[in-house]
């Protein structure tokens, strides 16, 4: 895939930037972990109610509202877009 080709070309630069942040470890491992976390998010089932906050929306269900920022981001993408992103990442991960 083109994304994997770009990753391989830019990996040394990405690793240097990662090292400069002082995070430690390999950027490649961090990217694989991020892909794994995105793919682990399950879509919401049924109708979910939101309420408008001052500058954003919150889930009315307190359990959903306490979910991770990643889960809420994928849910807000919608089930079709989240599934497309996860399918793409499943194809991309082995190429990295």
At 7-47, the pLDDT tens digits run: 999 999 999 999 999 988 999 999 999 999 999 999 998 88
Helix ranges restricted to H, 21-68 = 27-40, 62-65
Mean pLDDT of the chain: 92
Give the count of beta carbons closer than 10 Å to the beta carbon of residue 71: 19
Is pLDDT above 90 for 89? Answer: yes
Question: pTM for the whole thing?
Answer: 0.70
Give the count of beta carbons closer than 10 Å to the beta carbon of residue 46: 4
Is the C-alpha dihedral spanning 45, 68, 61, 50 positive or negative?
negative
Q: Which two tokens stand for residue 95?
A: 């190429």
Q: 74 burial class (0-12, 13-18, 19+ CB within 10 angstroms)? A: buried
């Amino acid at each position: 895939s083109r994304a994997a080709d770009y990753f391989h070309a830019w990996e040394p630069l990405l690793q240097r930037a990662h090292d400069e942040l002082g995070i430690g470890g390999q950027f490649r491992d961090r990217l694989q972990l991020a892909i794994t976390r995105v793919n682990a998010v399950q879509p919401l089932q049924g109708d979910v109610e939101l309420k408008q906050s001052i500058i954003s929306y919150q889930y009315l269900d307190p359990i959903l509202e306490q979910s991770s920022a990643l889960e809420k981001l994928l849910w807000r993408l919608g089930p079709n877009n989240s599934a497309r992103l996860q399918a793409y990442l499943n194809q991309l991960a082995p190429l990295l």
